[in-house]
Amino acid sequence: MRRRVAAFVALTKPRIIELLLVTTVPTMLLAERGMPSVWLVLATLVGGAAAAGSANVLNCFLDRDIDQVMHRTKRRPLVTGEVTPREALVFGYLLGAFSLVWFVVTVNVLSAVLALGAILLYVVGYTMLLKRRTPQNIVWGGVAGCMPVLIGWSAVTGRVDWAPVALFAVIFFWTPPHYWPLSMRFRRDYAAAGVPMLPVVADDVRVSREMLAHTVAMVAASLVLVALTPMTWVYLVLAAVLGAWFLGSTIALARRAARPRPGVRLGEMRLFHQSITYLTLLFVAVGADPFVARLGVATLLPA
């Protein structure tokens, strides 16, 4: 029973869910300008985890043929037979239905609609329509991963404002320089599976330049936030420092790609892990800023 439960949990891709929830809570803190009710935070996290889990399970169901080919995914439960395709499909639908009902009952209808949109964007938009057809799959397919900030904000306020749109843009532009380094590392896997990730169809120079362009836009979006909602200079400084750090890492990879040397790796996996650190620390700064303001630190806009 323990192995069966673990197999179903693995289908939900817990690490991805964890990263999505890391962006939800700070957004809720910013929307409340403090600490929302513990119940609301827990309810939003439960609904968000169920929605993300549903999308991930259905993704595994639809991509099980690809997962059989790729070394990185060949141990997933649908490939090993620990979970049957029918079981995965039912599990994915049940998680999705639960998340929508849960949001309506415990949070609000807008958050439920946004959660449904996230599921459809990932399952239909990315997995079914884009992933196997275009090198820009992760760019537009990554929109689903941006939805938790809108869900978190709407859970607190009952609406969507420009501030969460800026955070949405941060994650949107962050996704390519986060995922393409991983695709560079496993380029042969994607090529064997027939998935046209950009690193499969383009050389390292073009990929690194596109990552650089997205990183610049990401940093700009993180700074634009101060013009849309009251933020202290502490956030502005942290966002600028973190952005400069990650931008420097992206530039370094682009230089190594432009001037490859025998025996010297590009460092794509290092950039992949740095991208996770960047997003985590940036959203820690977002969530902490309302409390920093309460300590008397001046905001850049009137509250």
* Residue 21 pLDDT grade (very low, low, confident, very high; cuts 50, 70, 90): confident
Which pLDDT value is given to residue 80?
94
Mean pLDDT of 212-238: 97
What is residue 19's predicted lDDT score, i.e. its pLDDT?
Answer: 83
Share of the chain above pLDDT 90, in %: 89
- Mean per-residue pLDDT, 75-99: 96
Phi first, then psi, for residue 299 (nearest 5°) are -90, 160
3-class secondary structure for the chain?
CHHHHHHHHHHCCHHHHHHHHHHHHHHHHHHHCCCCCHHHHHHHHHHHHHHHHHHHHHHHHHCHHHHHHCCCCCCCHHHHCCCCHHHHHHHHHHHHHHHHHHHHHHCCHHHHHHHHHHHHHHHHHHHHHHCCCCCCHHHHHCHHHHHHHHHHHHHHHCCCCHHHHHHHHHHHHHHHHHHHHHHHHCHHHHHHHCCCCHHHHCCHHHHHHHHHHHHHHHHHHHHHHHHCCCCEHHHHHHHHHHHHHHHHHHHHHHHHHHCCCCCCCCCHHHHHHHHHHHHHHHHHHHHHHHHHHHCCCCECCCC
pLDDT higher than threshold 80 for residue 263: no
In this prediction the pTM is 0.95
Say if residue 298's pLDDT is above 90.
no
C-alpha 130, offset from chain centre: 17
Structural domains for the chain:
1-153 (1.10.357.140), 161-303 (1.20.120)
Average pLDDT score over the chain: 95
CB 112 within 8 A of CB 104: yes
**For position 18, what pLDDT does the model report?**
86
The pLDDT value recorded for residue 301 is 86
pLDDT at 27: 98
pLDDT digits (tens, 9 = 90+) for 172-206: 999 999 999 999 999 999 999 999 999 999 999 99
Note whether 78 and 85 are within 8 A (CB).
yes
